[in-house]
Every structure is written in C-alpha cells, then in structure tokens.
Structure 1
C-alpha cells in the first residue's frame, strides 16, 4: 500500500485575519410586477483580490453588478482569491403591489438524508397564492420538505400574475454523528496509518484525537476535494459526508 510521507501539507487560510467586506453600492427596484429591470451593484474590500461575486448561488463573475432582476430578496456572495467569502441580502420592492412573503424553516438534522423544511406565508390583496422552489412548477403547496442545508429560491405568485422571490435558508442541525461510532474508524483506516499521520510519520499525528480536532476543518475540506487521503487509498462519498457532518456539528469527542 502506498504511503503519504512525500505529501506536502498546505497551510490553512485564516479568513478572519483580513476579512472580506461586502457593501451595497446601489439598487434599482423593478418598474412593475411583470418587469425584470431591477438591478443591484455591490462593492468589495478586505481579503485578497481579485474578487468574485455570485447572486443566489449562481455562477461567480468578476463584476459586482447584477441586472435583469424582478422583485424579491437576493443573496449576494463575495469570494476573494483565497476562497474566503461573505454574504449579504438585498431586497428589491415591487412597484404598485402589496404582495409580500415571509418564511419559517426547520434545520436539516440528517447527515446521509435530508429532513429540512421551509414553510412560506404570503400576504397581499390578490389571493390565492402559488409557490415554487427553484426551477420547479407552481402549486398551492407552501411547504417544502426533505431539504438539505442551504439557500433555496422560493417564488410566490398572486392571482394577478405578480410574483416575487424569497431566499430561504435551511440551517445545519446537529446530526449526532459520533467520533467514536463513525469517524475514528475512517481516520484510523486511512490517515493514522504507518508512514502517514502517526507517531514517527507525517505531522500531525492523527492517532491523537486532539490533533484530529485541531485540524478538523482542513480534514473536511481535503476529504471533500478528494486530496485526502493522497496515497492511493480512497474513501466513499458516504464517509466524506460523515466527516463533513461531524466537523460541522463541532468536531466533538462524542
């Protein structure tokens, strides 16, 4: 079996040392319900240039200007050259309409499946309302279930055809993934092995829980990118997901 003694550790990036800052420079509301002539412009500072910008989880671009927007709430993400990021929400009002929407969500507390939920409440003079999530179809159902953690774009439409969008967040709930029951065996079989992350091998020594905990974020990132383990071993997507859940839960010794 191959060894990883020649693998070079990459220093972790401290995004808190020089945090990226995102500011809204201007916004233009759409002129009507049916119009998509709204616009948002944001600017960035801090971090390391060049910057990239994304709206509602879409493809990143070099410009902080977004146009062709309808009414609703939009999430703008800023990312610098080191991968450090931040987000802000911007709302564009619909002219001459009282259509509005709020949401309540429950966290996704499952690791290998999803149990998050979004419940939308619409108000306005022109009921009944219809709802859709992402690029799905409209229906009268305002509850969306079996969702993973993340940001979801909900569109609400009234009986007059006026619509708006809401960015609804499903948080990460504690999944209960265990160090002793789930994660330790993965580390022991793939990382804390002879010639690799053990005493007398490559530092850090992952035979020590304290070292695993200290490097948990990097382990999560590197297993997700499949750069760890690097020496010909492979771990399954399920194992990668378990590691991610355990780290996001707080990497506790449970």
Structure 2
C-alpha cells in the first residue's frame, strides 16, 4: 500500500509543468530587435580651420533612421546638439545614436588650409659684427623678420633652417640670409662680415717692424725665417719680437742694435694690451 502511494506521487512530480506559463510550459519568444529593421545614416559637413594651427574648425551632423538622436566625438560624452565646434585639424570619429540605441559611426578629417604667400611681404634685416683679423672667427649675424606669420626660422647661404635668429662664429665674407614664416613664405637679406680695423698699438708696432726688420724678415731671405710683411705673423710672433727687439735675446733685432727706448716701449705696451691685431 505504501509502495503504491509513493509511485503515484512520483508520477505526479514527473509530469508537473516546468513553469506557470499560460502557454503550457513553453517560454515566449524574445522581443524583436528594434535595430534589425532600421538603418541609421550619418552625414556631416566639415569646416576646416581658418589658418594652420587654429582651433576653429567644426563638424555639423545630420542623421536619419529613427528619432531622439545624440552624438559623440572620439568616444566622448554624448550630446543632443548636432554640431561640434572649436576643432583643430585632425581625424575624428563621430557616432550618432537614436532613442532605440541604434547607431552609426563615421570618420571625418579636418585639414589645415594650404597657405598662400600671395601678397605676403616678409621684411628681413641682418646685422653683423666684425671678426678680429688673425684670430678664430667670432663674428655673429643677428636676423629679424616681420610681415609674415610667426614663428620664423632662418638659414644662412641656403643651409639648414634654425629657430634661433643668431648665427655665431661666422667667417669673414658675404652672406645671404633667408627667413621663412609659419606658412612657408620667405624673405631674404644680405650682409657682410668684415675684419675689424687694426688697433693703434698694433699699427705702431707694425710700422716699427717693417721699417727695421723687413730686410731680413721680408720673405726674401730664407735665412730670415718668418716674414713680417704678413700682419698675422707679427701677431703670432710677438714674443719673439719682444725677445729680439726689446730684450736683445739671443741677439738684437735689427742687427744694427736695439731700437730706441721709446720704440721698445711701444712693443711692450702693445703686448701688455693683449698683443692682438685689434689692440
């Protein structure tokens, strides 16, 4: 009797419905995808920046395929307004999404305008300092430019452009300077680096040497060695001149005997001042 009751209860459990659905245990189908029959179309009108480097470009959007559209740009927050302003040149990805969550994504490119140099007159000026003759080149050329769009870059005699407007350690000679603005428009100027004039102390010593020593040191006699007809040989040989013409060591110069004391003092004063061409 007990066994029969247990079998009866087992049969009832096995054949109980698995849910309380009014469909007799079969779940209803999922709701239809609202985007399956909708095609969202996204279009845009691009306005490029007004000048290179500006952030005044824009993208104006229009979307169809639903309602209640919102938009985002480059993965940012969604907005209901259909226009993005204050954009620099670059690549942008825009998404439009309707109220059902259906979306479309389109890429846009904003480009800097191609600059025109028509009507642009870049004025360039250059100021050069002098070199000291018989010394390493220390001259500088300083450039200024106006009339274009900053920043400017500069080159010397067609060399590489540089941001600095000062060229240093320039040898004596003539130079062409080119200034180029941010849009590639150029202007030119020329300048010359000269050697500075001979200083008064050097001029006195040169006169003494050439009046008294060129017989042996004029480049005529090989036994004389260095030629003092070259100004730079006088500068480089100042200690030898002092030894011979002032101290008489190892022998006086000129060979006829030491120079007068006043002339010897001129040599001493020049060497004490630096012994340069410019002193």
- TM-score tier (shorter): 0.3 to 0.5
Structure with the largest fraction of helix: 2
Q: What TM-score, normalized to structure 1?
A: 0.38
| Greater relative contact order, per chain length (Cα 8 Å cut-off, separation 6+) | 1
Structure number with larger C-alpha Rg = 2
Q: What TM-score, normalized to structure 2?
A: 0.35
